Chains A and B, each alone.
Chain A
Amino acid sequence: MFLIRLWHYLKGYVIIIVSGFAVEKFINICTRRQILLWDIERTGPAEVTMKMSIRGFKNARSAARKSGCRVRIKAKKGLPYLLSRYRKRKGFVAGLVAFAVLIYLMTSIIWSIEITGNYNVSKEELMKQLNEMGIFRGASKRSINPKYVADKLMLENRELAWTGVEIKGTRLIISVKEGIEPPPVIPTDQPCNVVAKKDGIIISVRAKNGLAKVKEGDTVKKGQVLISGVVESIHPEFGTKYVHALGEVLARTWYEVKREVPVKKINRIRTGLEWNRYAVYFLDFKIRLPSGNNPFELYETNILDKAPVIMNRFKLPFGLIIEKYYELKEEEQVLEPEEARELAQKMAMDKLSEIVPKEAEVVDRQMQVFTSEGKEYLLVTVECTENIAMQQEIGGN
């Protein structure tokens, strides 16, 4: 029922009042002419109200004449009439169309390119490569094939282990994952030595090929040959044989970090006062709105980008930037010895987690506090077990 009503509404219909003594005859003539009538209701002794399609109404005049009835239009309903009313307002319709077209055009363009996950490959470098592929701000969304872009970026940048290219509304999101570049591999048919990657005490040597030069308990220096690829025969007449040395050398290694134990700490606290600076932007053009000078001496800022984002997908190329300035005050805090050491330890641990390689296994950790020149220091030593074997060409450094 609803669908039929909707259909009538879309096609348009008229509500007519038919008056006369042979209204039934009028109805019969109309039905015979395939004119659809509905909601026929008697509203008076010689008067009937009914609904009729627009197309049918054109034929109804002659039917009325034939049956001797008078037809009056009570109301015109439906979309065609609604549209014809707006047809006169040309500006309005033009605006409506322009709006739709503009929205369509604006949303079919890449307005922002976001690159995440890159550390060693610079954003500028990636941008340059994207530009060469014809991807820039303002490029048509349809011209971008995410798969192709991802493949191309992978091929051009050896450092990238994975690349994801995603078009989200008007944003192009490129997320990359950088891998660790593998060390230069020496071809297996080329003779080489195995040398120490760093200083340490040998725990075990497992030579798969070549001649082990060190044994358990030896102290080795960085660069020292551990497994030699030069194999001298006991019988001098056979001469020297060069092999592709290969093996695993586990060694105990140490890492140490010294940190001063701080006496006091400076805390920066927000005073609660804040001040905003506003700017509007379109693409890269930024217009600062006059808002005076920053009244704070010590502050931190927080930049908010209030760009209209439609349905979380379509970011438009203009917006408002609010720079929030928060006033700060410094407060010195004299630390308790306990607290100070904890702080120093935390700093040292942070540093250690940076320098200790991931594959090393931490065996022991020692902390030592000592005083030198009136200052207190914390020394953290970490003992690890790790493979220090590294292949190197014979004669190379």
Chain B
Amino acid sequence: MRRRKTGKTAKRKKETDTVKEKVARMLEIPEEIVSDRPKITTVGRKEVFIENYRGIIEFTNEIVRINSNYGIITITGKNMKIREITNEDIIITGDIDNIDYVV
């Protein structure tokens, strides 16, 4: 993992369990509901679905960089498009090669 110095980089949180998450685990509620950790789902190599993101930093056909509370998620590939983007989630499609956390 490389460290990139970018002005836009979010304040990096230490990934420790918050009180909210502990309570959620105790009550057996799915953690992603209460936590602010990003959830990344990939379907094959064509589709990446990211929840709990904070914003996009860079978007080209070859690279998409997405800011999250725990670092920048960098997705590299070819012919990448954003199929849908809302406040909570983003769907990226294309021929995906790599999904990286850049801290």
Residues of chain A at the chain B interface (Cβ within 8 Å): 23-24, 27-28, 31-32, 34, 36-42, 48, 50
Contact = CB atoms under 8 A, between A and B. Distances in A.
A37 B59 contact: no
A192 B87 CA distance: 99
A43 to B, nearest CB: 9
B56 A42 contact: no
B84 A28 contact: no
Interface string B40-60: 000000000000000111111
Interface string B50-74: 0000011111110000000000000
B86 interface: yes
Interface string B84-99: 1111000000000000
B81 interface: yes
A36 B56 CA distance: 15
A32 B53 CA distance: 12
A27 B58 contact: no
Contacts, number: 45
A38 B85 contact: yes
B66 to A, nearest CB: 10
B87 A31 contact: yes
Contacts of B85: 27, 31, 36-38, 40
A38 B83 CA distance: 5
Contact of A23 (B59, B81, B87): B59
A37 B84 contact: yes
B87 A40 contact: no
Contact of B60 (A27, A28, A34, A42): A42
Contacts of A34: 86-87
Given A24-B57, A40-B85, 12 more contacts: A24-B55, A24-B56, A24-B58, A27-B82, A31-B55, A34-B86, A37-B85, A38-B83, A40-B81, A40-B83, A42-B60, A50-B82
Nearest to B60: A42
A23 B83 CA distance: 16
Contact of A40 (B55, B58, B82, B86): B82
B58 A42 contact: no
Nearest to A45: B60
B81 A39 contact: yes
Contacts of A31: 55, 85-87
6 closest cross-chain pairs (CB), A and B:
A40-B82, A28-B55, A38-B84, A41-B81, A37-B85, A24-B56
Contacts of B84: 36-39
A27 B86 contact: no
| Main SS at interface, chain B | strand
A356 B59 CA distance: 98
Contacts of B82: 27, 37-41, 50
Contacts of B81: 39-41
Contacts of A24: 55-59
Nearest to A30: B85
Contacts of A39: 81-84
Contacts of A42: 59-61
A158 to B, nearest CB: 74
A32 B57 contact: no
Contacts of B60: 42
Nearest to B58: A24
A23 B61 CA distance: 14
A48 B56 CA distance: 14
A34 B60 CA distance: 23
Contacts of B83: 38-40
A32 B59 CA distance: 17
Interface in B7-61: 55-61
A27 B56 contact: yes
Nearest to B80: A42
A37 B87 CA distance: 10
A362 to B, nearest CB: 84
Contacts of A27: 56, 59, 82, 85
Nearest to B67: A28
B59 to A, nearest CB: 5
A28 B87 CA distance: 8
18 contacts: A24-B55, A24-B56, A27-B56, A27-B59, A28-B55, A28-B56, A31-B86, A32-B87, A36-B84, A36-B86, A37-B85, A38-B83, A39-B83, A40-B59, A40-B81, A40-B85, A41-B81, A42-B60
